[in-house]
Amino acid sequence: MLKRITAILTAAALLLPVTGCSRKPKGSTLEIDLSTSYASEDFTKAGSRFEPAAVTEKGIICTKYTTLQNTAMSLCDPATGEWHDFNKGQINLPIWEGQLPDGRLAAVYNVSHGVSGGWYDQDGKDRVLEIYDDDLNVAEAVQFPASVTECELYEELFFADGKGNWLLLPYTGETVPDSIEVYTQDFQLKGKIALGDLWGWDVVPGKSGKAYMTVGDGMEMKLYTLDTDAMTVAPVEASLPFNIQGIAAGPDYELYCYNANGIYGIAEDYTATMLVDLRNSDLPGSCGKLFPLDNGEFLIQFTEDNGNYSYKRLRPRNEDELSGMKFITLAGVNLKTSLISHICEYNRSQTDVHIFMKDYADPYYENSRLYSDWEWEEKQYMTGDWVGTLYDNAARYPEAVEDFKNDLLAGIVPDIICMDGLPYQQLSNKGLLVDFAPLLEADERFSATDYYMNLLDGLKSNGRLERLGFSFTVATAAAKTELVGVQQGRTPEEYTAMIQNMPEGMDLLQYTTREAVTSLYLTGSQSSFIDRENMTCSFGSDSFVQLLELAGSVKPVSELTHSQEEKREQAELGYAYWNDHRLLTAFTITEPYAYHSIHTEDYCNEDITLVGFPESACGNGGRYLMNYVLSMTAQSDMQDAVWDYLMWELDSRQQSKVGLSGDTFATMPIRRDSFENYLKAGTIRGEFRSAASQEEMDLMREYIAGVRMYAGNDPTISAIITEEAEKYFGGGQTSRQAADAIQSRCTLYLSEQQ
């Protein structure tokens, strides 16, 4: 097996302290660990869809449905690829299959009786253990005695612990089991393990003989040990891989586990080692089941981003596969699933080029916070975060951003940088990045008329296009035309005047909090007060002072009602725009149909104006955000190969698939003909939605073409604004003093970037 390969990049000039210093190392390296990059192939029996169920010393037990009501079971020899069928006595799929302590293969079934409504009836009363001989015939059928709790068995609720005991979570369909029942090999009750409020599944025997169980804890999964002698359960006190999705038994480690990023081996002291990096094995999705083999390979149930699943056999890549391969390196912080998916798709289409990804957030995932859909909705209302800034990489993973910057300072530079959450201006002003504009102009594969060039031009700085994005969303705000007029794009002065003229007693937003106003109008509007061409700012203007005072005039979340139910009820009141309770609806356009939803549901088809947010770029007030943005480093010796990948992202075939898979949030393509498909789809009535009018879709086409303001905020400037605004909110300074302090600090910061 390959242990480690180091890719040498010819980066010569680098970066980057904020002070403006730079240095030129003799050479730079980015370490690529190919020992965790596995090759995959479909695992299947020719002409059928057998699914692996258990790995034993005699082979891999696999099962399948032969008809809607009949099933088959087979044994696969992973060394020879030979398959042999079981002659089982039951028509159902087994709910447990494996190897008994005496070495014989066996399976446990619910027994079916008669036919009810065309389906065999399982009443949970009769269960049977079938034991098979070496020819895979039934040698013995053991009926469960009355000592076993009467209930239908399920795969997730019946286990063997590796010591000859059976474990059952007796789920009757009415109440959640509060204990695990432990039975001897001959099904005599040995005792019960009280679970309390724990709800567990995936009970797996460890190599040492311990039994382990995964337990859901909010949005995460925790690992517990089960003692089937003392009848106790205890949490594993160790720093395990982030967000474990499942566990498995295997030959070389105490336990194996997996998450969205990879497969890990867990030693008996609970230290974890990544064995397979799914991202760099071109498997963008999730692992649903895991079966470690005794030769260092794995079988996995792999679910793609589109929801389809298959079974893959993973093996380490060999020297022959890698000898002629050119490696492109891509690095970033908290790489998006859509980017990973696209890179894996590109890698699978290539024979001599492979993009290797490094995510600097990997060591810090356990420090981050997962939110449920309900929590996410609450936070959007409370903080005004309608453009996803809660998930800003710099805010969530500051240590990862610093690690990346320190590596760049040390001369460790990838070929491609995913710029999401990184200090773009710092990197740009040190000459690290390539200008894409002349490359686009010279490439016959690209025609400017085919794309929304306003969205690419908005990424320019100092006349250079050093970032490319491929899909986008637009944040904007709507209001009744009778209240605000028809003007869309408004300068900060015009916008604050609109707010000041708001009818008395009317709230500004659907959920007006200090956090929301700060997010939308202070940190969120920073680009309106910065001149990137001349690297100057105007935070000391009267209009910014007015925005500060607006934020200071409303209550923070902490001073509002603390009842979650009441908060949601208050939020629902925000939809009463037709009664003039709120001036603005802030929302994100993830597809053109979103405008139709706002127009018909929130405003009952009354005339509305998309006023957007304050801006000084002569646009219409919309703020767009690219799904991800990529830059190419100037010293990369793989620039031609990198450019081919970027053009692949811009190609019509890829653009036509934007938003269909792999995106955390829906996005829209920047290619015009692909965007037209979204517009056409919006006018078609769906099962659960009405059809948008052609007029509404025409308005969306025009609106997207008029967007100018890129919402990729500078994290340093955001921090300055937030810090000085908090002093003002706390009474430590006036709004004018806060604005002047922000002006002074940001002027200094911008001057350092030149």
Q: Is the pLDDT of residue 384 over 60?
A: no
Residue 95's pLDDT band, with cuts at 50, 70 and 90, is: very high
3-state class of 396 per DSSP? helix
Instruction: Return d(Cα 101, Cα 99) in angstroms, integer.
Output: 7
Can you give the pLDDT at residue 47? Answer: 72
Taking each helix axis from N to C end, the angle separating 373-383 and 564-573, rounded to the nearest 10 degrees, works out to 60
Per-residue pLDDT tens digits for 113-149: 765 545 455 566 789 999 999 999 999 999 999 889 8
Instruction: Return d(Cα 366, Cα 256) in angstroms, integer.
Output: 18
* Residue pair 319/275 in contact by the 8 Å Cβ criterion: no
Can you give the pLDDT at residue 321? Answer: 80
Per-residue pLDDT tens digits for 667-707: 999 999 999 998 998 899 888 889 999 999 999 999 999 99
Q: Which of 9-13, 128-132, 660-664, 739-743 has the lowest mean pLDDT?
A: 9-13
* Residue pair 628/340 in contact by the 8 Å Cβ criterion: no
| Residue 185: other Cβ atoms inside 10 A | 15
Can you give the pLDDT at residue 660? Answer: 62
Q: Is the pLDDT of residue 290 over 80?
A: yes
Can you give the pLDDT at residue 715? Answer: 80
Can you give the pLDDT at residue 665? Answer: 53
Of the candidates 180, 185, 159, 184, the residue with the CA atom closest to the CA atom of residue 169: 180
Q: Is the pLDDT of residue 260 over 70?
A: yes
Instruction: Return d(Cα 619, Cα 600) in angstroms, integer.
Output: 25
Taking residues 39-59, report their average pLDDT: 89
Can you give the pLDDT at residue 369? Answer: 47
3-state class of 103 per DSSP? coil
Taking residues 404-415, report their average pLDDT: 90
Taking residues 271-281, report their average pLDDT: 93
Can you give the pLDDT at residue 337? Answer: 85
3-state class of 303 per DSSP? strand
For the residues of 716-753, what is the DSSP string, one character each?
HHHHHHHHHHHHHHTTSS-HHHHHHHHHHHHHHHHHHT
Can you give the pLDDT at residue 154? Answer: 83
Q: Is the pLDDT of residue 359 over 90?
A: yes
Q: What percent of the chain has pLDDT over 90?
A: 53
* Residue pair 161/226 in contact by the 8 Å Cβ criterion: yes
Highest mean pLDDT among 212-216, 221-225, 445-449: 445-449
Taking residues 345-357, report their average pLDDT: 93
Residue 5's pLDDT band, with cuts at 50, 70 and 90, is: very low
Q: What is the CATH number of domain 5-37+331-469+633-661?
A: 3.40.190
Residue tagged 């340093």 (tokens): 716
Q: Who has greater pLDDT, 606 or 18?
A: 606
How does the average pLDDT of the chain come out, rounded? 84
Can you give the pLDDT at residue 338? Answer: 87
Can you give the pLDDT at residue 390? Answer: 40
pTM, entire model: 0.85
What does the domain layout of the chain look like in residue ranges?
5-37+331-469+633-661
Q: Which of 364-368, 471-475, 601-605, 724-728 has the lowest mean pLDDT?
A: 364-368
